Structure 1
Amino acid sequence: MTPATDLSRRAVILIGSAGTAAVLAGCSTESSAGVEAGGQTAASAGAPQEVAKLADIPVGGSISATLEGKPILVSQPTEGSVIAFSAICTHQGCVVKPGGSEFDCPCHQSRFNGATGEVLDGPAPSPLEKIAVHVTGGVVLTSRR
């Protein structure tokens, strides 16, 4: 193997990697998870989708739900005030569970504030991702961003 041959192989690998990244970047307007390049889900970019019934969410508590097949948490910190978050822990991606006024990660015991999504106790490094929702006619719907 000569240095010219070795350099040529490296160039091919680098060009191939850059080409693959360019193709993937060009196709990233919507992934299979429904997330668009701007960080919006397909639901928030289009018509509102029903997430839950307000009557099913205890005041001062929360419930588990799904949005586009992904686990979410929906809280009602005060009567009629609803907020939603991704249920994916920011530590290692475990599904976080509702626990009264908190969310609890069963994998490594991270705890999150049920009204803000902020980390109460680690190892999670950041808050849960907020999902825009609103209430209309007793139904919790996704909101446009």
Structure 2
Amino acid sequence: MTVESSLTRRNVLRVSTAASGAACALALAGCAPAGPAQISAGKTPEAIPSTGTPVRVGKLSDVPVGATAKGVANDVNVVIFRPNEATVLAYSDVCTHAGCQVAPNGADFKCPCHSSVFKGSDGTVVSGPAKAPLPRYAAAIDGEWITVSI
């Protein structure tokens, strides 16, 4: 009587293919959004409540109407949009998809990691994979300065 080995080439290929599929599924699970990405994508973000003192993040003259810029307030990176002569808006520069730093991109902000684009005018998502808007900080014009409270 002969006993056939259960370790045939076909069985080895089945096992290795199943293991590869499981590894890919686990790797993709690590790309799922976390943290602020749970916010509704269609809702315009309210300003983050702040008890901080306004901090100068840049000169108003450096941000033309309709443009975006970067700044730092109390060691927190922010992105700025200037919709008109009398208003500035500030947002967190942390992408709501995977936590990369978004950057000014014309009148919008773009994430260099996965190409999410956010509107400068309200922080909402123009194109994903991000689903949630950028959190907004209180911002103001103080003479020739842009200030942000964090």
Question: Normalising by structure 1, what TM-score?
Answer: 0.66
Aligned residues: 103
Give the number of the structure with larger relative contact order, counting CA–CA contacts within 8 Å between residues 6 or more apart. Answer: 2
Q: Which runs of 5+ in 2 are unaligned?
A: 1-47
| Identity over aligned pairs, percent | 40
**Does residue 1:106 correspond to 2:140, yes or no?**
no
Asked if residue 50 in structure 1 is aligned to residue 50 in structure 2, the reply is no
Matched, 1:75 2:81: yes
Q: Is contact 1:96–1:104 with CA below 8 Å preserved after alignment?
A: yes
- Alignment-derived partner of residue 136 in structure 1: 142
Residue 90 of structure 1 is matched in structure 2 by 96
Q: Equivalent residue for 2:29?
A: none
Instruction: Decide which structure has the larger Cα Rg and report it.
Output: 2
Q: Please give the TM-score of this superposition, normalised by the length of structure 2.
A: 0.64
The runs of at least 4 aligned residues of structure 1 exceeding 4 Å deviation read none
| Runs of 5+ consecutive residues of structure 1 not aligned to the other structure | 1-38
SS in 1 for 2:71: strand
Deviation string for 1:98-137 (max 9, x for gaps)?
A: 0111100000000000111000001112000001011121
- Whole-angstrom CA distance in 1 between matches of 2:105 and 2:130: 17
- Verify the 8 A CA contact 2:55 2:74 in the aligned structure 1: no
What residue number does 1:19 align with? Answer: none
